[in-house]
């Protein structure tokens, strides 16, 4: 499975890198870490990010 770095996912999802870091810190999306400690996201995590964005848009927790 292809892993994407936070900058790529930020552009794809239309949210800031800081927002993605917040989701990771809060446990909404737990990113894997590379050897250099970079956050890495796979397709499943990207789908979870989109669900979070949709739920937030609907004012759901």
Cα–Cα distance between 21 and 26 in angstroms, integer? 9
The per-residue pLDDT for range 7-53, each reduced to its tens digit, is: 999 999 999 999 999 999 999 899 999 999 999 999 999 999 999 99
Cα–Cα distance between 49 and 21 in angstroms, integer? 11
Q: What does pTM read for this prediction? A: 0.83
How many C-beta atoms surround the C-beta of residue 50 within 10 A?
14
Tokens of residue 22, six digits: 């917040």
* Domains and their CATH numbers in the chain: 4-57 (1.10.1660.10)
User: CA-based diameter of the chain, in Å?
Assistant: 37
């Amino acid at each position: 499975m292809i892993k994407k770095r936070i900058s790529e996912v930020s552009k794809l999802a239309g949210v800031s890198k800081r927002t993605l870091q917040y989701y990771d810190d809060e446990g909404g999306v737990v990113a894997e870490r590379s050897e250099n400690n970079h956050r890495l996201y796979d397709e499943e995590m990207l789908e979870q990010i989109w669900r979070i964005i949709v739920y937030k848009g609907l004012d759901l927790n």
